Amino acid sequence: MIENLNPFAIAQAQLDEAAAVLQLDPDMHAFLREPMREFHFTIPVRMDDGRTRVFKAFRVQYNDARGPGKGGVRFHPDETIDTVRALAAWMTWKTAVADIPLGGAKGGVICNPRELSRGELERLSRGYMRNVWRFVGLDQDSPAPDVNTNAQIMAWMLDEYETLTGQHEPGVITGKPLELGGSAGRPPATAMGGIFAIRETGRVLGIDLQGATCAIQGYGNVGSFAHKLAVEILDLKVVAVSDEFGGIYHANGLDYPTIAAHVRETGRVPDAPDADAISNNDLLTLDVDVLIPAAIENQLTGQNADEVRARIIAELANGPTTPEADDVFDEKGIYVIPDFLCNAGGVTVSYFEMVQNAYQFYWDETLVSDRLDKKMTTAFHAVHDMAQRKQVSNRVAAYLVAIDRVATAVRLRGWV
């Protein structure tokens, strides 16, 4: 049977499985399966050569029963509305499992940012905000960086929003530069939250993580910080990392400063010094203690799941594992830290950023890290305990925790 790799179909299938365990009311189930609203629009951009290119873009606000929407904006040549829908759904469950008062949203633009000049990228970013500014804001929906977007792009979007509204509202965007109201500790937050979750996994499984081996797929902001923090906080030995161009391996561990310097210089992981070349699939199937998929969706599938030998899979990417692969991991006894728990550190610190913006009072990085640790630890044990109590997978358990919280808010509002 051919696997369905449509991200939104996967998100709905995961919801359906948890809804059956919860015995969720059919009307509530139907409501939670679909986005509350979505926007499709086009962005005309004047290119450097004088031509005008038209880019397709989206914003999906999946559910805001628990609070304003929250979710990043992705710039990717293969972006689809179903990917954005799925990511908005997962953001809804992510904010709920982290127990922060926000809903779920996501945005995307079909483009290849590598082909755009800095000026073209700025005009595209501002064009995106000109299309959505009426529907976003600190009390409506707050975008953030995601795949191929960064603090500078957020700064352009923030400036465009404030130009259009004539108001100073830094909380409309998170993940922005510190100088414009960003939060200390935001760049490493997604990876940091995942490291805290891995630490707690080691504790509940009785695994000594000091010197344990680790492989990381994806070496953007999240994957590179995961390498750094895995070594610094957990003393893991990171033996392999990869990006879209290929991977590298060294049995005695890869030196983070060396690899980071190589990536800054060349823009890619392959050919780093003191390392052997390795394919992406070889990395995913290495005999390691911890596997961290930190790239994009649908990387662990029914095609390669049986070859995975890791003891712990920490999903720092969104949707890296298909339902078919999940079934295999359950059978093999691999402990999966599901994506919308494992990578909730980013949205948690984005929430902290919104709070700081609202009060115009800012915290230092130590305070941000301490508060993130408490949030992630509490969320991890809520999911782990639910899995043990209901005898279900961690992913289903995470859905049980999240769906119950969202459904309660929907019910109290009288929507269903």
- Please write the tens of the pLDDT for every residue from 225-258: 999 999 999 999 999 999 989 999 999 999 999 9
In sign, the C-alpha dihedral spanning 139, 145, 151, 157 is: negative
Instruction: Kindly tell me if the per-residue pLDDT of 346 is higher than 60.
Output: yes
User: Residue 285, SS3?
Assistant: coil
Q: Is 334 part of any domain? A: yes
CA–CA distance, 17 with 353 (Å, rounded to integer): 34
Instruction: Kindly tell me if the per-residue pLDDT of 133 is higher than 60.
Output: yes
The percentage of the chain sitting over the pLDDT mark of 90, rounded to a whole number, equals 90
Please say which residue of 315, 342, 369 terminates a domain: 342
Q: Is 245 part of any domain? A: yes
pLDDT tens track for 351-372: 999 999 999 999 999 999 999 9
**Six token digits for residue 13:** 């299938």
Q: Contact 17/315 with Cβ under 8 angstroms?
A: no
Assess whether 45 and 175 both reside in one domain. Answer: yes
pLDDT tens track for 86-112: 999 999 999 999 999 999 999 999 999
Q: Is 371 part of any domain? A: no
Assess whether 209 and 329 both reside in one domain. Answer: yes
Determine which helix (DSSP H) or strand (DSSP E) holds 348, and give its type and residue range: helix 345-359
Q: Give the distance between the most distant pair of CA atoms in the chain.
A: 62
Assess whether 290 and 308 both reside in one domain. Answer: yes
Assess whether 176 and 193 both reside in one domain. Answer: no
Instruction: Kindly tell me if the per-residue pLDDT of 206 is higher than 80.
Output: yes
CA–CA distance, 279 with 399 (Å, rounded to integer): 33
Instruction: Kindly tell me if the per-residue pLDDT of 116 is higher than 80.
Output: yes
Distances (CA, A) of 242 to 222, 308, 345, 390: 12, 16, 22, 36
Assess whether 318 and 227 both reside in one domain. Answer: yes
Residue-level pLDDT at 147: 85
Q: Is 195 part of any domain? A: yes
Residue-level pLDDT at 124: 98
Radius of gyration of the chain (CA): 20
Q: How many other C-beta atoms are found inside a 10 Å radius of the C-beta of residue 377?
A: 16
Assess whether 116 and 42 both reside in one domain. Answer: yes
- Sorting pLDDT into bands at 50, 70 and 90, what band is 299? confident
What percent of the chain is helix, strand and coil (3-state, nearest 5)?
50, 20, 30
- Sorting pLDDT into bands at 50, 70 and 90, what band is 5? confident
Q: Is 354 part of any domain? A: no
Q: If you count them, how many residues does the chain have?
A: 416
Mean pLDDT, residues 370-390 taken together = 96
Contacts of 21 by beta carbon, 8 Å cutoff, 6+ apart: 390, 392, 396, 400
Residue-level pLDDT at 360: 93
Residue-level pLDDT at 83: 94
Q: Is 6 part of any domain? A: no
CA–CA distance, 111 with 94 (Å, rounded to integer): 26
Assess whether 116 and 197 both reside in one domain. Answer: no
Measured in degrees and rounded to the nearest 5, phi and psi for residue 69 equal -65, 155
pLDDT tens track for 311-329: 999 999 988 999 899 999 9
**Six token digits for residue 399:** 């859905």
Assess whether 198 and 312 both reside in one domain. Answer: yes
Q: Contact 280/256 with Cβ under 8 angstroms?
A: no
Instruction: Kindly tell me if the per-residue pLDDT of 2 is higher than 80.
Output: no
Assess whether 71 and 194 both reside in one domain. Answer: no
| CATH at residue 193 | 3.40.50.720
Structural domains of the chain, count: 2
- Sorting pLDDT into bands at 50, 70 and 90, what band is 1? low
Name the packing angle between helices 81-97 and 345-359 (round to 10°): 70
User: Which one from 56, 70, 94, 106 is the annotated catalytic residue?
Assistant: 106
Beta strands in 12-131, from DSSP E residues, in sequence order: 37-46, 52-63, 69-76, 104-110
Assess whether 194 and 335 both reside in one domain. Answer: yes
Q: Contact 191/346 with Cβ under 8 angstroms?
A: no
Instruction: Kindly tell me if the per-residue pLDDT of 8 is higher than 60.
Output: yes
pLDDT tens track for 33-75: 999 999 999 999 999 999 999 999 999 999 999 999 999 999 9
Say if strands 237-243 and 290-293 run parallel, antiparallel, or are unpaired: unpaired
Residue-level pLDDT at 302: 87
Average pLDDT of the chain is: 94
CA–CA distance, 281 with 315 (Å, rounded to integer): 16
- Sorting pLDDT into bands at 50, 70 and 90, what band is 3? low
pLDDT tens track for 150-193: 999 999 999 999 999 999 999 999 999 999 999 999 989 999 99
User: Residue 74, SS3?
Assistant: strand
| pTM, to two decimals | 0.92
Please say which residue of 180, 202, 221 terminates a domain: 180
Q: Note down the domain range covering 73.
A: 38-180
Of the listed ranges 80-89, 130-139, 255-264, 295-304, the one predicted with least confidence: 295-304
- Give 363-377 as a DSSP string: --HHHHHHHHHHHHH
Assess whether 132 and 265 both reside in one domain. Answer: no
Q: Contact 384/394 with Cβ under 8 angstroms?
A: yes
Structure-model confidence comparison of residues 275 and 122, the more confident one: 122
- 106 annotated active-site: yes
Question: Which strand ranges, in their side-by-side order, compose the sheet holding 335-337?
Answer: 276-278, 246-249, 237-243, 213-217, 290-293, 312-314, 335-337
Q: Which amino acid is at 297?
A: E
Beta strands in 260-403, from DSSP E residues, in sequence order: 276-278, 290-293, 312-314, 335-337
Assess whether 235 and 131 both reside in one domain. Answer: no
